[in-house]
Copies of this chain bind each other. A is one copy, B any other.
């Protein structure tokens, strides 16, 4: 945690040989890999925006090694970023592992000074985003993600965690401000102003970007959501839960990369995931060789949007009723008949509010992926800029709708139908 010590003493960015030496000194990792360091292969595969990622394979098995760099990899050394984010990632992974050990990678070793985490190598998993672009369907994904969201958000909230314990954890994660700041700027602010890091498909979307920047209602709604991001310490959120933060096979789902974790609004995680499914949906037509060939996949993607929310809601409510344990809504207060009806009504209102938040945050996440610094491969891999821009324009339309009117839609079905209408070129 002491960043000064870390940068002044043992920290060095890893490369092939020093990494082999380092891992050879960790008995559990060495045994897992098998053989000696000379028998291992090391590949640097980090395609994210921030870190080094190595896959190390030995005769007996493999590990993934993630190391934070002291700057934003996507931008360079001109944008420094604290190494402590590895500490917060490890803390978040450990918390998540308490509730959904089968849905996160297993941590084998953490080195705070090196800002380095050694994890189980997930194979034959692929990044969910790449699978969805390819047209793959994951039968377990929606159920697993619903469970991940419900368990991690409920268990770390005041509906389950005693207040003193939660406040202590919250105080710790208040230290992860530099990562939160990235979200505050790139998700909630830059797309709505002329910012140097913004980029979009030019010249096709120039007019759309300008119209969006001139949209006062949209700006105000986005700032309302930013204020919620800054003030609502509802639960320990992953903080960057897009489809690039999930690795999947037919039979297994793992959520990775919680370095943006902090105590924030639950809807930010739910919305991030829904947004990326909706982006995958709207990108499909750009990947078709003949029109309509991906209609089934598109429908499947919207089914997942519904299934993630409905699965999340059902499990969250079940945990609230059956597990409880937090300082808010003590079940003992609602044990009588009138109490259980009142609690059910309170839960209805709570879940409606959470859906509204989720859809609003989803809209912000969609817009920033079209107009902001960091885009998504779903869209970027559409080579023809006219076809790409057509998909992206739909994403902007849906994003705007969700930011400004997400609270009025009232159901995940209504959100799905709005996405369908926009994809068909109709008025949302």
A338-B218 Cα distance, complex, nearest whole Å: 11
In the complex where A167-B174, A181-B164, A220-B343 touch, is A189 in contact with B233 (Cβ < 8 A)? no
Does any Cβ of B come within 8 Å of A184's Cβ? Answer: yes
Question: Is the CB–CB distance between A216 and B338 below 8 Å?
Answer: yes
In the complex where A230-B158, A330-B189 touch, is A170 in contact with B177 (Cβ < 8 A)? no
Q: Which residues of B have CB within 8 Å of A336?
A: 214, 216
When each residue 208-238 of chain A gets 1 if its CB lies under 8 Å from chain B and 0 otherwise, what string results? 0000001111011101101100111110000
Q: Which residues of B have CB within 8 Å of A215?
A: 338
Does any Cβ of B come within 8 Å of A39's Cβ? Answer: no
Question: Is the CB–CB distance between A163 and B338 below 8 Å?
Answer: no
Does any Cβ of B come within 8 Å of A193's Cβ? Answer: yes
A220 touches which of B175, B217, B231, B346 (Cβ 8 Å): B346
Does any Cβ of B come within 8 Å of A192's Cβ? Answer: yes
Question: Is the CB–CB distance between A174 and B163 below 8 Å?
Answer: no
In the complex where A214-B336, A342-B219 touch, is A181 in contact with B168 (Cβ < 8 A)? no
In the complex where A174-B170, A328-B230 touch, is A345 in contact with B181 (Cβ < 8 A)? no
Question: Is the CB–CB distance between B168 and A219 below 8 Å?
Answer: no
Q: Which residues of B have CB within 8 Å of A330?
A: 189, 223
Does any Cβ of B come within 8 Å of A334's Cβ? Answer: yes
A164-B336 Cα distance, complex, nearest whole Å: 45
Does any Cβ of B come within 8 Å of A111's Cβ? Answer: no
Chain B proximity of A48: nearest CB distance (Å): 23
Does any Cβ of B come within 8 Å of A327's Cβ? Answer: yes
A180 touches which of B163, B171, B177, B339 (Cβ 8 Å): B163
Closest to A193 in B: B333
Question: Is the CB–CB distance between B189 and A219 below 8 Å?
Answer: no
Considering only residues 151-183 of chain A, those with a C-beta below 8 Å from chain B are 157-159, 163-164, 166-168, 170-172, 174-175, 177-178, 180-181
Closest to A174 in B: B171
Question: Is the CB–CB distance between A231 and B230 below 8 Å?
Answer: no
Q: Which residues of B have CB within 8 Å of A224?
A: 346, 349-350
Does any Cβ of B come within 8 Å of A110's Cβ? Answer: no
When each residue 185-198 of chain A gets 1 if its CB lies under 8 Å from chain B and 0 otherwise, what string results? 00001001100000
Does any Cβ of B come within 8 Å of A329's Cβ? Answer: yes
Chain B proximity of A167: nearest CB distance (Å): 4
In the complex where A234-B231, A333-B189 touch, is A327 in contact with B226 (Cβ < 8 A)? yes
A177 touches which of B167, B172, B178 (Cβ 8 Å): B167
A342-B170 Cα distance, complex, nearest whole Å: 33
The number of times this chain is found in the oligomer is 2
When each residue 322-353 of chain A gets 1 if its CB lies under 8 Å from chain B and 0 otherwise, what string results? 00000111101110101101110110011000
A336-B220 Cα distance, complex, nearest whole Å: 13
- Most central of A217, A328, A332, A349 by chain B CB within 10 Å: A328
Q: Which residues of B have CB within 8 Å of A231?
A: 157-158, 232-234
Q: Which residues of B have CB within 8 Å of A345?
A: 217, 220
In the complex where A163-B180, A230-B163, A233-B231 touch, is A334 in contact with B219 (Cβ < 8 A)? yes
In the complex where A174-B174, A216-B342 touch, is A332 in contact with B163 (Cβ < 8 A)? no
Chain B proximity of A264: nearest CB distance (Å): 10
Q: Which residues of B have CB within 8 Å of A232?
A: 231-233
Q: Which residues of B have CB within 8 Å of A214?
A: 336, 338
Q: Which residues of B have CB within 8 Å of A164?
A: 177-178, 181
Q: Which residues of B have CB within 8 Å of A167?
A: 174-175, 177, 180
Query: What are 10 residue pairs bridging A and B, where the CB atoms are less than 8 Å apart in the complex?
Result: A163-B230, A171-B171, A171-B174, A174-B174, A192-B333, A216-B338, A220-B342, A220-B343, A227-B329, A230-B327
11 further contact pairs, Cβ within 8 A, besides A158-B230, A227-B329: A163-B180, A163-B230, A214-B336, A214-B338, A216-B338, A220-B345, A220-B346, A223-B330, A223-B346, A230-B328, A231-B233
